[in-house]
Chain A
């Protein structure tokens, strides 16, 4: 179902719940995986995904219909992820590297990493990136989001996003190469 149909339905109080249910079904996997790649842990991703859709429900009536629903939901999800990671650091007074180490520990426990050493090194390298750069990398590399859409989501210029992605790729390649030499 098209976004415009969902939004038109949502405006009708009698069909609002049905419309929102369709919206969740349409975007839940994209939101979940976007969040999951940032926080690694399924339970955290589950909580945050629900938070994202509750915010969508509370604010959809005020959503500007000329904007893209897809990028609007992604922006909410992105902000939730960054707030979550930031509050985690504040709560435990952790520096950047310690949260990365915690996420790496969770990654090591992920069963999908077993038996694929290169993939495991790649994921560890991605976790070493700063949060915002990791978001940019994930959106471009895994979700195939265009730079223009990413600019809408993050409120950053296309040029800055391209540079950020380019640097992220270089860092990852360097880390995986060095990690392979060490082991």
Chain B
């Protein structure tokens, strides 16, 4: 029968497992430093390092000013933005022409004489600027047009 194992009787090894590769502990500090301080951390620290030089109250005040400035800037930009984008003319212009014609034809609304009467009269001299014809020629042209309507 085997003798029961007693831990106190066993010679304790300081390190029970195989040692790490050669020079492992010489290189470890440099590897740890490389991980603790990545390459870009230096650049970042130099860019924002001046913040660390400020006292905590000054840093808090600076942060508050930046936040308030951001709000003020966004408010100012909102107020000065053009508002024409939501006007009725813009909305109407966005309606496709085909749909507009369809709507007008389907609608009971027609242009009435009252509507025509309210139109601003054209300047009397206007035809002279683009019609290269004498009044007699114009009258003849109008008389030659067929008329199916009779007005009483």
A interface with B by C-beta (< 8 Å): 17, 20-21, 24-25, 28-29, 32-33, 36-37, 40, 42, 45-46, 49-50, 53-54, 57-58, 107, 110-112, 118-119, 121-123, 141-142, 169, 172-173, 176-177, 180-181
Chain B 1-14 near chain A by CB (<8 Å), digits 1 or 0 = 11011110010111
* Cβ contacts under 8 Å, B89 to chain A: none
* Cβ contacts under 8 Å, B24 to chain A: 46
* Cβ contacts under 8 Å, B35 to chain A: 50, 54
B interface with A by C-beta (< 8 Å): 1-2, 4-7, 10, 12-21, 24-25, 28-29, 31-33, 35-37
Given A118-B10, A169-B7; 4 other pairs, CB 8 A cutoff:
A24-B28, A40-B17, A42-B18, A173-B4
Task: Report the minimal beta-carbon distance from A22 to chain B, rounded to whole angstroms.
Answer: 9
* Cβ contacts under 8 Å, B14 to chain A: 142
Residues A57 and B36 in contact, CB atoms below 8 Å apart: yes
* Cβ contacts under 8 Å, B15 to chain A: 33, 142
Contact of B5 among A28, A29, A46, A177 (CB under 8 A): A177
A24 vs B1: C-alpha distance in the bound complex, in angstroms? 49
Q: Kindly report which residue of chain B lies nearest to residue A182, judged by CB atoms.
A: B2
Q: Which 4 A-B pairs have the closest CB atoms?
A: A176-B5, A57-B36, A112-B18, A24-B29
Q: Provided the pairs A42-B20, A54-B32 are in contact, do residues A177 and B12 lie with their beta carbons within 8 angstroms? A: no
Total of A-B residue pairs, C-beta within 8 Å? 82
Q: Provided the pairs A36-B17, A46-B20 are in contact, do residues A25 and B29 lie with their beta carbons within 8 angstroms? A: yes
* Cβ contacts under 8 Å, B37 to chain A: 17, 57
* Cβ contacts under 8 Å, B31 to chain A: 50
Q: Provided the pairs A46-B20, A112-B17 are in contact, do residues A172 and B29 lie with their beta carbons within 8 angstroms? A: no
Residues B29 and A28 in contact, CB atoms below 8 Å apart: yes
* Cβ contacts under 8 Å, B5 to chain A: 118, 121, 173, 176-177, 180
A173 vs B24: C-alpha distance in the bound complex, in angstroms? 34
Q: Kindly report which residue of chain B lies nearest to residue A118, judged by CB atoms.
A: B10
A110 vs B13: C-alpha distance in the bound complex, in angstroms? 15
Residues A119 and B17 in contact, CB atoms below 8 Å apart: no
Task: Report the minimal beta-carbon distance from B28 to chain A, rounded to whole angstroms.
Answer: 5
Q: Provided the pairs A42-B20, A123-B16 are in contact, do residues A180 and B25 lie with their beta carbons within 8 angstroms? A: no
A49 vs B18: C-alpha distance in the bound complex, in angstroms? 17
Q: Kindly report which residue of chain A lies nearest to residue B6, judged by CB atoms.
A: A173
Residues A119 and B33 in contact, CB atoms below 8 Å apart: no
Task: Report the minimal beta-carbon distance from A129 to chain B, rounded to whole angstroms.
Answer: 13
A97 vs B25: C-alpha distance in the bound complex, in angstroms? 32
